[in-house]
């Protein structure tokens, strides 16, 4: 069977690329070894964060934020997105200084989305925060969405525009010749002039099949969620010198992340909670919000994600001019997903993109 | 409690009690963890505290538990009541709370003997206050002598329904009616298994005796009932159903339901043991060999949590698993293992005579499990209906986990304990599969744990 573009990986990136291509009349096939969004795409924390991005990522993150604020026009669903802001709290003067340096750096790059707030506004936003904090860095139009709902919306919109989708399908072979790419699948052979690698934690294997070695490390950041609580905080909350990200979802549950990794059996695709690290996460939360001591944790999990050594993604043309990569988002790709679709579709159809993607080149390794 | 034991046994019902005792008798250091206040499990609940009169009402089978519980008391097993095990992994690390304190334990072997739970079968109105599981009502009776004062309707299919009716009748409860939802064609389904079942005839004669007593007492039993529905605005007011082609309604403030029991598999799932669908028992159960070994080294499973076999079978299966642990840990020789296991093996062989008959006879109709109407709530915690689940499948979500992500069903405080099986049936039916392909992936903690409790673990671990 033939199509225009073969996309490996039925996560957010894969469907975002497929959707952008479909909107420009280009057919594609998305193939995934599991169900859509089975790993990182479906089970991440759903953060829509421009705050504290690596400077290289700021332009694409700001562009992505614009797309999220109007996400319904793109995927016919609001993806349950809310924009109460994200903050990074300073617990002492040294933290405050770090945040001020950061704010200046962002301003100097010509962006206005990050600003410093003082203690008074901080305690207005987070009245139950432990008393000693000095202030915070805030991005007021940041927020969060529900990842599986977003994934589902991207998939359904893409498929409604004719994108073919094959879940639970393993790839037996990837071959390249003058006519382009050939994927051997259980359901037959698929050909297309263009190939896109959006295979997440498994993208290193696809890159290797294209003879490109990347230092990708699969890892599984843990999240935990509480029972429903009366509303006590709106913005997504992080700290300048602690590993923490938490938010109170619309239904009142508290979603806690801290970039602590589960134990991972990559071959078996199985994760196992590391209670010692999760305990650290709990201590961090309680150090900032001691009144949460008796809140019950009902569930914890970890999604398998691709990490790069410099924590920057690969958004890049391959060494083959007709193959492209978008992976390695290192646990902060959710927010970037709409713009990544746009960038890859531009590279495929226009031969260039409006964004500076040099920092994300696969050749940097 | 020590931080390491040779053998950790989880569950103090017949399987756990017999296993812990035999292991300790042969010199293993054993800890028995149980989430109830006293040993005995569901079947021998309140064994040590029950007044003699109430114990008599429960029947001779119940009293058998006395030996098991006193054997525990005479042993040097470390026994801890009121323990909630919230995590088990394949490295045999156990997370538990005891007296509100969180602890981690390690072990050379972990025997899961955590029993069964009542099969959730959603039907219209099943979430109304006034509708309860028969097993829960039996707990109230055993522990506290609480019985319905204003009459009760019993409905469903399975031996426990009959047993509870018999116990209630002896305790003087006004049983308005027993609605037997076992379809008539189950008699045909079970018939081929009858000759073999007669080899374990005591089960059958016991059942017949209960039925005869109930009939003598003038209690109405309606057979071949269907379309059960609980009615009421905020509380249960009446029950309606189809019987002999007519729709009938009974006024009642209490309806006790029972559709058999299924293995409690949350811990074995959490540990990552392989599970398979059992078409005869209509449930997921862990893969185990004849000694109870699961697919994970060091985690044997015995009793109803390895597949429903009842109390007596659990007792023998528990012993067999413990004997195998003793052998694996070089406490006994192969010859001693053979000798010790002789009686238990014999029982297990006999037990196999009756199960196929019982399972065929009490086979829950597919319509009940797979086709609750669209408005029926399936997930009580998040109020997700059967219609929501079917819609998710129609939108391309082929397995229970995806349906869960999308609808939140199974994401509430009970973490799917109540709805996991029911959802897997509805998803299978919507996919036109004959039986479920998958069940929710477990996400620990198995029972809730507070942030404060979690924060006390591994105090040396740094950010």
Instruction: Give pLDDT tens digits for B210-264.
Output: 999 999 999 999 999 999 999 999 999 999 999 999 999 999 999 999 999 999 9
Q: Is residue A349 part of a domain?
A: yes
* Residue A16 confidence class, pLDDT cut points 50, 70, 90: very high
Nearest residue of B to residue A302, measured between CA atoms: B443
Residues A225 and A297 in one domain: yes
Residues A313 and A335 in one domain: yes
A297 touches chain B (CB under 8 A): yes
Contact B449 A299 (CB under 8 A): no
Does the pLDDT of residue B203 top 90, yes or no?
no
Distances, alpha carbon B305 to alpha carbons A137, A239, A252, B10, in Å: 52, 44, 34, 11
pLDDT at B351: 81
Distance from CA of B286 to the nearest CA of A (A): 18
Q: pLDDT tens across B185-196, in order?
A: 999 999 999 988
B93 touches chain A (CB under 8 A): yes
Residues A102 and A233 in one domain: yes
Does the pLDDT of residue B60 top 90, yes or no?
no
Last residue of a domain, one of A302, A331, A351: A302
User: How many domains, in total, are found in chain A?
Assistant: 2
Nearest residue of B to residue A287, measured between CA atoms: B455
pTM of the predicted structure, to 2 decimals: 0.93
Q: Is residue A78 part of a domain?
A: no
Provide the sign of the torsion angle of the four alpha carbons B269, B274, B277, B283, taken in this order: negative
Q: pLDDT tens across B366-425, in order?
A: 999 999 999 999 999 999 999 999 999 999 898 899 999 999 999 988 888 888 999 999
Residues A285 and A159 in one domain: no
B443 touches chain A (CB under 8 A): yes
* Residue A354 confidence class, pLDDT cut points 50, 70, 90: very high
Q: Is residue A237 part of a domain?
A: yes
| Domains in chain B with CATH codes | 4-118+262-332 (3.50.50.60), 131-259 (3.50.50.60), 371-430 (1.10.10.1100)
A148 touches chain B (CB under 8 A): yes
Residue with tokens 């986990």: B401
B410 touches chain A (CB under 8 A): no
Contact residues, chain A, for B454 at CB < 8 Å: 275, 278-279, 282, 297
Residues A233 and A257 in one domain: yes
Q: Give the CATH number, domain containing residue A175.
A: 3.50.50.60
Distance from CA of A290 to the nearest CA of B (A): 9
Does the pLDDT of residue B463 top 80, yes or no?
no
What is the C-alpha separation between B460 and B463, in angstroms, rounded? 10
Q: Is residue A26 part of a domain?
A: yes
Residues A99 and A234 in one domain: yes
Residues A316 and A207 in one domain: yes
Q: Is residue A80 part of a domain?
A: no
CA atoms within 13 A of residue A253's CA, in its CB half-sphere? 19
Counting one residue from A and one from B, how many pairs have CB atoms under 8 Å apart?
A: 101
What is the C-alpha separation between B442 and B404, in angstroms, rounded? 12
Residues A237 and A290 in one domain: yes
Beta strands at A86-90 and B116-118: parallel, antiparallel or unpaired: unpaired
Residues A65 and A153 in one domain: yes
Q: For the CA atoms of B159, B162, B164, B170, what is the dihedral angle to 10 degrees?
A: -140
Q: pLDDT tens across A68-82, in order?
A: 999 999 999 999 999
> Which of A272, A287, A289 has the highest number of chain B CBs within 10 A, making it the mutation to test binding with B?
A272
A70 touches chain B (CB under 8 A): no
Contact A275 B104 (CB under 8 A): yes
Contact residues, chain A, for B95 at CB < 8 Å: 275
Contact A276 B399 (CB under 8 A): no
Phi, psi (deg, nearest 5) at residue A336? -80, -10
Residues A346 and A240 in one domain: no
Average pLDDT estimate for B71-98: 97
> Which of B441, B449, B454, B459 has the highest number of chain A CBs within 10 A, making it the mutation to test binding with A?
B454
Identify the H or E element spanning B256: strand B255-258
> Which of A283, A287, A288, A289 has the highest number of chain B CBs within 10 A, making it the mutation to test binding with B?
A283
Instruction: Using alpha carbons only, give the angle A181, A210, A24 rounded to the nearest 5 degrees.
Output: 45
Last residue of a domain, one of A262, A277, A302: A302
Q: Is residue A76 part of a domain?
A: no
A298 touches chain B (CB under 8 A): yes
Q: Is residue A74 part of a domain?
A: no
Residues A285 and A157 in one domain: no
Last residue of a domain, one of A284, A302, A320: A302
Nearest residue of A to residue B100, measured between CA atoms: A294
Q: pLDDT tens across B124-161, in order?
A: 999 999 999 999 999 999 999 999 999 999 999 999 99
pLDDT at A163: 98
Beta bridge partners of A136: A89, A117
Contact B398 A270 (CB under 8 A): no
Contact B463 A242 (CB under 8 A): yes
Whether the CB-CB separation of B421 and B120 falls below 8 Å is answered with yes
Distance from CA of B459 to the nearest CA of A (A): 8
Q: Give the CATH number, domain containing residue A133.
A: 3.30.9.10
Q: Is residue A79 part of a domain?
A: no
DSSP secondary structure string, B124-166?
TTTTSTTEEEHHHHHHHHHHH----SS-EEEEE-SHHHHHHHH
pLDDT at B59: 82
Q: Where in the sequence is the domain holding A357, given as residue range(s)? A: 5-69+147-215+309-364
Residues A318 and A353 in one domain: yes
């Amino acid at each position: 069977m033939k199509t225009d573009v073969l996309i490996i990986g039925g996560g957010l990136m894969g469907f975002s690329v497929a959707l952008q291509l479909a909107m420009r009349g280009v057919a594609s096939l998305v193939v995934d070894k599991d169900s859509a969004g089975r790993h990182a795409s479906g089970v991440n924390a759903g953060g829509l964060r421009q705050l504290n991005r690596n400077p290289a990522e700021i332009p694409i993150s700001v562009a992505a934020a614009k797309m999220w604020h109007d996400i319904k026009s793109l995927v016919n669903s609001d993806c349950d997105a809310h924009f109460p802001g994200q903050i990074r709290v300073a617990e002492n003067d040294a933290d405050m200084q770090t945040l001020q340096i950061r704010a200046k750096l962002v301003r100097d790059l010509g962006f206005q989305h990050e600003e410093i707030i003082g203690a008074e506004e901080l305690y207005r936003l987070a009245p139950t925060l432990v008393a000693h904090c000095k202030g915070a860095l805030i991005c007021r139009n940041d927020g969060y969405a529900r990842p599986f709902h977003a994934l589902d919306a991207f998939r359904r919109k893409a498929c409604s525009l004719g994108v073919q989708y094959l879940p639970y399908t393993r790839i037996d072979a990837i071959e390249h010749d003058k006519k382009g790419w050939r994927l051997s699948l259980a359901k037959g052979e698929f050909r297309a002039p263009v190939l896109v690698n959006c295979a997440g934690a498994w993208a290193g294997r696809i890159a290797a099949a294209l003879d490109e070695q990347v230092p990708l490390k699969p890892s599984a950041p843990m999240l935990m969620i509480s029972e429903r609580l009366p509303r006590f905080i709106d913005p997504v909350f992080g700290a300048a010198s602690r590993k923490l990200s938490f938010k109170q979802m619309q239904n009142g549950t508290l979603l806690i992340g801290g970039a602590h990794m589960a134990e991972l059996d990559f071959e078996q695709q199985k994760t196992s909670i590391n209670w010692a690290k999760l305990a650290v996460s709990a201590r961090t939360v309680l150090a900032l919000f001691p009144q949460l001591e008796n809140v019950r944790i009902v569930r914890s999990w970890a999604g398998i994600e691709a990490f790069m050594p410099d924590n920057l993604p690969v958004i890049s043309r391959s060494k083959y001019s007709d193959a492209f990569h978008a992976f390695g988002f290192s646990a902060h790709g959710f927010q970037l997903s709409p713009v990544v679709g746009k960038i890859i579709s531009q590279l495929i159809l226009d031969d260039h993109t409006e964004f500076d993607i040099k920092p994300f080149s696969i050749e940097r390794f | 409690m020590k931080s390491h034991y040779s053998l950790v046994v989880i569950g103090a019902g017949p399987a756990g009690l017999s296993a812990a005792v035999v292991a300790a008798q042969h010199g293993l250091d054993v800890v028995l963890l149980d989430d109830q206040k006293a040993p005995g499990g569901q079947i021998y609940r309140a064994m040590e505290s029950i007044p003699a009169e109430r114990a008599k009402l429960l029947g001779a089978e119940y009293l058998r538990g006395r030996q098991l519980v006193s054997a525990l008391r005479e042993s040097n097993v470390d026994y801890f009541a009121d323990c909630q095990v919230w995590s088990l992994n394949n490295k045999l690390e156990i997370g538990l709370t005891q007296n509100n304190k969180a602890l981690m334990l390690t072990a050379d072997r972990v025997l899961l003997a955590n029993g069964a739970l009542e099969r959730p079968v959603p039907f219209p109105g099943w979430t109304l206050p006034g509708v309860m599981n028969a097993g829960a009502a039996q707990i109230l009776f055993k522990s506290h002598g609480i019985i319905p004062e204003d009459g009760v309707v019993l409905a469903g299919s399975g031996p426990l329904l009959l047993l509870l009716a018999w116990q209630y009748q002896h305790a003087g409860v006004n049983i308005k009616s027993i609605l037997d939802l076992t379809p008539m064609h189950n008699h045909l389904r079970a018939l081929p298994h009858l000759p073999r079942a007669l080899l374990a005839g005591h089960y059958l004669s016991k059942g017949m005796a209960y039925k005869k007593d109930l009939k003598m007492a003038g209690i109405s039993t309606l057979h071949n009932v269907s379309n059960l529905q609980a009615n009421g605005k905020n509380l249960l007011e009446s029950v309606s159903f189809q019987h002999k082609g007519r729709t009938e309604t009974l006024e009642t403030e209490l309806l006790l339901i029972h559709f058999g029991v299924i293995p409690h598999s949350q811990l074995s799932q959490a540990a990552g043991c392989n599970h398979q669908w059992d078409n005869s028992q209509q449930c997921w159960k862990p893969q185990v060999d004849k000694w109870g070994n699961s697919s994970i080294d060091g985690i044997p499973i015995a009793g109803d949590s390895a597949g429903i076999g009842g109390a007596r079978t659990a007792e023998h299966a528990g012993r067999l698993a413990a004997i195998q642990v003793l052998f694996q840990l070089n406490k006994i020789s192969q010859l001693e293992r053979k000798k010790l296991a002789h009686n238990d093996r014999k029982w297990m062989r006999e037990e196999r005579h009756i199960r196929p008959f019982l399972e065929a006879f009490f086979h829950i109709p597919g319509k009940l499990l797979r086709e609750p109407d669209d408005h029926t709530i399936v997930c009580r915690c998040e109020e997700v209906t059967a219609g929501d689940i079917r819609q998710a499948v129609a939108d391309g979500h082929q397995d229970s986990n995806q349906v869960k992500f999308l609808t939140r069903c199974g994401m509430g405080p009970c973490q799917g304990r109540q709805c996991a099986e029911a959802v897997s049936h509805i998803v299978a039916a919507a996919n036109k599969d004959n039986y479920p392909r998958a069940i929710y992936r477990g996400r620990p903690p198995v029972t809730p744990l507070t942030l404060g409790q979690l924060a006390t673990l591994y105090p040396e671990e740094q950010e």
